[in-house]
């Protein structure tokens, strides 16, 4: 799990980067690498707390068979490699940052986040996939009131659950990942409303082997606490209606994600549910490009492989925008990087 906030290698870059990439899915991460290759300063923002887009949020343990150069690769391993590749150029990565608005201000693009922060950039690539992911939340308002006070949908710091009595809710990959990561470090019970898991079988087996009690057909009914601290969780069996009260310090819900194009449709022209782009991945807004699942053109294929190609094109378009007169063609990395390495100008991480 790659959680990040700040510069990949710790050093800081200019406050107004050449390029801001909205979305840290495979397309956004590859765009960050490619922009680094073209010596652009880069900021990546993502609404989620982890990078990797759909690969991390929806199928980290599934193998992907159609990424060039890999006979097969685990989704989470591909994210790790993409991160390492772009980290060579030290992009600034801001997770838990959702972009709510884009507008021109002079020659710059002004990005406003959902919590009111304002970021400026010379150019922008929208690599927002299927839109911002938000965790599916419990609907009961009584339970919602505990959010952030012992009830969590994201793990920002795993250590906060160490030595705690923890109830994990969910049967997908995220629930199993956290059960594997925290099962030996906390006193854990895992409940799932069905007996079928939507997680990788190997992960479920590992959690079982760790001895984590797994209760299927059980759901969370209510949380009991005092002075703003969770003490107990009442769970119920959705078949027998039997109830049980567990002593818990925290509840971690992994109920999947909702996606929403949200305000993106107000920024740029939309066609067929995606951001309309031309051959150079330009959108209807000057200095703003799109790539990956979010981009729409007549020959669209929503695949990781095509997202990489679109990312390279979008970066070269952005590069020419910030470097007037520069060549659109980046040259061959096998030649340009060899030259830079000989001159000591490129030290891969």
Contact residues for ligand FAD, defined by CB under 6 A:
22-28, 45-48, 53-55, 58-59, 64, 66, 98-99, 127-133, 292-293, 302-305, 307
What angle, rounded to 10 degrees, do the helices at 75-87 and 26-37 form?
Answer: 20
Q: Shortest gap between Cβ of 87 and ligand FAD (angstroms)?
A: 17
- How far apart CA 240 and CA 236 sit, in angstroms, is 8
Annotate 111-124 with b (16+ C-beta within 10 A) or e (fewer).
Answer: bebeeeeebbbbbb
DSSP code of 9?
T
Q: Read off φ and ψ for residue 278, nearest 5 degrees.
A: -100, -170
Shortest distance (Å) from residue 347 CB to ligand FAD: 28
Residue 174 Cβ vs ligand FAD, minimum distance, rounded to whole Å = 13
Select 23 or 183, whichever has its Cβ closest to ligand FAD.
23
In the complex with ligand FAD, which residue's Cβ is closer, 22 or 167?
A: 22
Nearer to ligand FAD, 131 or 150 (CB): 131
Nearest CB to ligand FAD, comparing residues 134 and 323: 134
Select 45 or 179, whichever has its Cβ closest to ligand FAD: 45
Compute the least distance from the CB of residue 224 to ligand FAD, in Å. 34
Q: Which helix (H) or strand (E) holds 120?
A: strand 118-121
Q: How would you classify the pairing of strands 250-253 and 63-64?
A: unpaired
Minimum distance between the CB of residue 133 and ligand FAD, rounded to whole angstroms? 4
Beta bridge partners of 189: 167
Angle at 194 between CA 192 and CA 200, to 5 degrees: 75
Give least dist CB 146 to ligand FAD, A. 24
Q: What is the DSSP pairing of strand 108-113 with strand 118-121?
A: antiparallel
Smallest gap, in angstroms, from Cβ of residue 274 to ligand FAD? 10
C-beta closer to ligand FAD: residue 62 or 232: 62
Q: How far is the CB of 333 from ligand FAD (least distance, A)?
A: 21
| Nearer to ligand FAD among residue 17 and residue 25 (C-beta) | 25
Placement of tokens 């690769």 in the chain: 73
Q: Maximum distance among all alpha carbons in the chain?
A: 72
* Residue 163 neighbours by CB under 8 Å, 6+ apart: 185, 186
- Looking at the Cβ atoms of 182 and 311, the one nearer to ligand FAD is 311
How are beta strands 165-169 and 187-192 bridged, if at all?
parallel
First to last CA, the chain: 20
Closest CA to 26 of 71, 69, 57, 72: 57
Comparing CB distances to ligand FAD, the nearer of 97 and 189 is: 97
| Nearest CA-CA partner of 32 in 114, 112, 98, 124 | 124
Q: Which residue is nearest to ligand FAD (CB)?
A: 129
Residue 106 burial (10 A CB sphere; 0-12, 13-18, 19+): exposed
Q: Shortest Cβ distance from residue 54 to ligand FAD (Å)? A: 4
């Amino acid at each position: 799990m790659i959680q990040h906030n700040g510069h990949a290698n710790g050093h800081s870059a200019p406050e107004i980067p050449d390029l801001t990439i909205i979305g840290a899915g495979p397309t956004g991460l590859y765009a960050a690498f490619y922009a680094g290759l073209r010596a652009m300063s880069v900021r990546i923002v993502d609404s989620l707390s982890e990078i990797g887009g759909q690969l991390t949020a929806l199928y980290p343990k599934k193998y992907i068979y159609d990424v060039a150069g890999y006979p097969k690769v685990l989704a989470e391993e591909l994210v790790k490699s993409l991160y390492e590749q772009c980290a060579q150029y030290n992009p600034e990565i801001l997770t838990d940052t959702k972009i709510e608005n884009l507008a021109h201000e002079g020659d710059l693009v002004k990005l406003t986040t959902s919590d009111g922060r304002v970021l400026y950039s010379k150019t922008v690539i929208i690599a927002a996939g299927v839109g911002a992911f938000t965790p599916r939340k419990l609907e009961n308002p009584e339970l919602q009131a505990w959010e952030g006070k012992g009830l969590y949908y994201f793990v920002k710091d795993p250590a906060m659950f160490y030595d705690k009595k923890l109830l994990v809710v969910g049967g997908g990959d995220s629930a199993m990942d956290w059960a594997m990561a925290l099962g030996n470090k906390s006193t854990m019970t895992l409940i799932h409303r069905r007996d079928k898991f939507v997680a990788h079988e190997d992960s479920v087996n590992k959690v079982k082997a760790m001895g984590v009690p797994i209760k299927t057909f059980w759901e969370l009914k209510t949380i009991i606490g005092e002075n703003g601290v969770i003490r107990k969780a009442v769970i119920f069996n959705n078949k027998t209606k039997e109830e049980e009260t567990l002593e818990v310090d925290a509840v971690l819900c992994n109920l999947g994600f909702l996606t929403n194009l949200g305000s993106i449709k107000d920024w740029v022209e939309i066609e067929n549910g995606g951001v309309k782009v031309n051959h150079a991945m330009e959108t209807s807004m000057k200095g703003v490009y799109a790539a990956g699942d979010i981009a729409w053109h007549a020959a669209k294929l929503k695949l990781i492989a095509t997202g990489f190609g679109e990312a390279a094109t979008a970066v070269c378009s952005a590069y020419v925008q910030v470097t007037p007169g520069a060549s659109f063609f980046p040259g061959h990395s096998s030649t340009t990087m060899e030259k830079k390495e000989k001159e000591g100008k490129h030290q891969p991480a």
